[in-house]
Chain A
């Protein structure tokens, strides 16, 4: 029913016998040497989408690198990178564009070699359908099953099982039927919405564009015919409204809009929307575009929304339907496809990018690994490149999300290695953890900055870190006195004092030390919510703990002050006699003696007790707070503030 025409780019207006369906994004996958690149090259050739000069280059390359004698090797057309032409394997994802009168296609050609599974997952993440190739002579291989499993995991619901090289089995119907039966048995638990098996020969063009008389026993559609007519659209426009804010659009003081792409659902002016994380609500005022205001926007539309009320909304917030909200939680369970050469380390901090939001996250536990060929559960302590696992994750701040199953845009994330910046994993959220998930945060009418404003200050945490006896508490006390004299509202949390009350159940083991700082961090955060300037004086020897507190707070609120007094001097002073005991071995895990102190890498301020007195240091800290606008500038006090 389809004929290749002589024109290279055919007119999409040309009449055809069916409706023009939306662009189909599909990927080709399957084991190495099953003929994926050849299939795509053949499709382009039969659709006359290869230009004369490209064909000439192809013939030249076929003689040089080809694997098919003097015949054209179609795989060379697709295997773009030099190394691939030389090694004869595809090592990366290649994108190809095919248009027929009925439909436009974007094809991701993904590698079959085992070590490149991450690229296969990459191609799958943006596809609606997968063409899974099988060599008719070999039947199902481990790779075939693994790829089918990844296809299922990434939420692709439509699969074409293209049983290739059917010419090499003498067009054997029974062999074809056996592979189909094997695959159906294997794939039954994967839950595909459609599965179509087609016998093909990519090299000889059997059942590619047209049904071939070589397989009279086959009564289904040719491959292209099937791809042109299959309807894969999930109707995202009827899902609950989700709008991840990508960029705050402020051309001038009169206009404040939120630019982004509708992830799901439909929105109209007048609709009520809620900011998922803060719980604040407003109504959509306008849907602004360059081509004029619109009366609705649906899934996939890139627009700018304005609201009736001035809310505190930033990039990373998600605007949603108040009657059908996403989950909001800082802990959730997800599948991870590991993509980095460095193994997954539970407990290590990564960056999580979910929608337009990027937050630090820790993988708290690897529940199990997945058998790559069956998706069955296997025990494991870590994940290596190309392995798939089911994990729990804890973010430093709550995020809005939906399960990946119901929403691919608000349920997918990547993990980024904080040292190398490599993309370490692809993640798909299964569900939120802990009861926090469905307790939607109460929107508060009075915000932190409102509370701080009546005190003419901005909330901040001054975190004094340094060895025992370095002078942290002395300086913190002086700073608080000076701030008090300034009329600033402060509170001081001191390591020793906190351990007499809030943390009296904690000892000095590593676990307890981390919990000690976590609680102090949470208390400091509540105090900043009250609008206060909080002074914290803790040895806090580890960078990770201090970073934990920094990340609990808003950008710029955490001011790390390193009291840099040499160990010898601290030992010499020994105000509480602790060094003496530690050196005598009477105290275990004593910082500086039997436990390392990790100095801050980029503190906001360093106090060097070699070159300044405690009073001078305190004056410098107060000056910094005034400069940064945390407390009001009061000139009349002058420089002589001795109390």
Chain B
């Protein structure tokens, strides 16, 4: 389904391209955080547009928690191949050795060690001074107040009280040695903008966004897909086949599915317009308490 791109989306697209080019022009070692989801797919597509006919002059980086859905990993490798870009994958080996997993350690510890610490290790390993992320301001309240160019100290911390004002499109990109910048080209996009743009531009996304019969168990009010045998079943739990899809993709035991009949992009967009819950509802990591995202960000989470 290819639709024409609305003036609203064209304006968002041009703004994102400007941001991508600004980083490449002003930083020495940029990288694009590629997390395989729909936002990453759009961000990668925008990067191909921004630098054409050159290839985007930076690699893709995936911080692999080793608990991503198998379909996501397959999609990731294909996407990098299609784009003709280098893909760097980093796993927090120390976390693995310590036996950290969402099942054994709980979502908080798993996210802190495998995602936040893993990301910090990766940025230091390759000495990146700027990292693109696909976060949008409509996702969560503390993200709504984060800058497009978000300055991080040498220890990767975000200081919400001391953010640089962002005026016009004049981004202050100056950093000291050891400091870095997280940059969010999709800041002003909404979830619906992302899907409308995917539809209009024919951008490939992970098939998990579309409904299909998949094995699930219902746990604490969430539908958890049994992607492999690492998910220990509790007494009485019996995986059953249900038509489900995902609205947001994270680590598989931490991401709740929704029951859905939407097998195609138009059906899915129609279903989303009628939805009365937010996309992060399926993300179990945000539920611990309100303000939990801000806490994670101060510690260096994206």
Contacts and interface: CB of A to CB of B under 8 A. Distances in A.
A and B, one complex? yes
A247 B137 contact: no
Chain A: interface secondary structure? mixed
A499 interface: no
Contact of A290 (B52, B160, B163): B52
A97 interface: yes
B276 A51 contact: yes
B85 to A, nearest CB: 14
25 contacts: A8-B276, A9-B192, A9-B275, A22-B7, A22-B11, A51-B275, A51-B281, A77-B141, A80-B144, A80-B145, A81-B141, A92-B160, A94-B144, A95-B137, A97-B138, A122-B166, A249-B51, A251-B53, A251-B55, A259-B21, A288-B52, A302-B14, A302-B17, A356-B22, A423-B165
Interface string B262-284: 00000000001111111001000
B55 A412 contact: no
Interface stretch (A269-277, A414-422, A559-567): A414-422
A77 B7 CA distance: 29
A53 B277 contact: yes
Nearest to A118: B165
A7 B24 CA distance: 41
A11 interface: yes
B53 A23 contact: no
Interface residues of B, number: 58
Given A126-B168, A421-B176, 12 more contacts: A7-B273, A8-B273, A53-B281, A57-B290, A83-B160, A95-B144, A259-B50, A301-B14, A302-B17, A302-B50, A304-B53, A421-B174
A423 B52 contact: no
Nearest to A12: B6
B8 interface: yes
Nearest to A109: B144
B276 A52 contact: yes
Q: Which among B24, B55, B140, B168 has the highest number of chain A CB atoms within 10 Å? A: B168
Contacts of B14: 261, 300-302
Contacts of A79: 141
A81 B145 contact: yes
Contacts of A57: 290
A133 to B, nearest CB: 19
Interface string A252-274: 00010101110000000000000
Nearest to A10: B273
Given A246-B22, A421-B172, A304 B52 contact: yes
A52 B279 CA distance: 11
B5 to A, nearest CB: 9
A99 B192 contact: yes
Contact of A97 (B18, B137, B176): B137
A61 interface: yes
Interface in A62-91: 77-83, 85, 91
Contacts of A99: 190, 192
B168 A125 contact: yes
A94 B165 CA distance: 12
B290 A122 contact: no
Interface of A: 6-12, 22-23, 51-54, 57, 60-61, 77-83, 85, 91-97, 99, 104, 106, 118-119, 121-122, 125-126, 246-247, 249-251, 255, 257, 259-261, 288-291, 300-302, 304, 315, 339, 351, 353-354, 356, 408-409, 412-414, 416, 421-423, 426
B167 A426 contact: yes
B187 interface: yes
B174 A97 contact: no
A300 B11 contact: yes
A409 B168 contact: yes
Given A9-B273, A106-B188, A259-B50, A423 B164 contact: yes
B175 interface: yes
A122 B272 contact: no
A63 to B, nearest CB: 12
A570 to B, nearest CB: 35
A93 B144 CA distance: 8
A547 B172 CA distance: 22
A289 B52 contact: yes
Interface string B121-146: 00000000000000001101111110
A315 B137 contact: no
Contacts of A315: 25
A353 B275 contact: no
B48 interface: yes
Given A247-B21, A290-B52, A408-B168, A23 B8 contact: yes
Interface string B50-87: 11111100000000000000000000000000000000
B277 A96 contact: no
B1 interface: no
Interface string B16-53: 01100110110000000000000000000000111111
B54 A125 contact: no
A505 to B, nearest CB: 40
A60 B291 CA distance: 13
Given A51-B281, A97-B138, A125-B168, A302 B54 contact: no
Given A22-B7, A104-B8, A259-B50, A95 B170 contact: no
B299 interface: no
A408 B170 CA distance: 11
A7 B274 contact: yes
A412 B138 CA distance: 28
Contacts of A122: 165-167
Interface in B189-247: 190-192
A125 B167 contact: yes
A325 B176 CA distance: 37
Interface string B148-192: 000000000000110111111110101110000000000110111
Contact of A416 (B48, B172, B294): B172
A393 to B, nearest CB: 15
A412 B13 CA distance: 22
Contacts of A92: 145, 160, 163
Contacts of A288: 52-53
A8 B274 CA distance: 6
Which 3 pairs of residues, A with B, have the shortest CB-CB distance? A80-B141, A302-B17, A51-B278
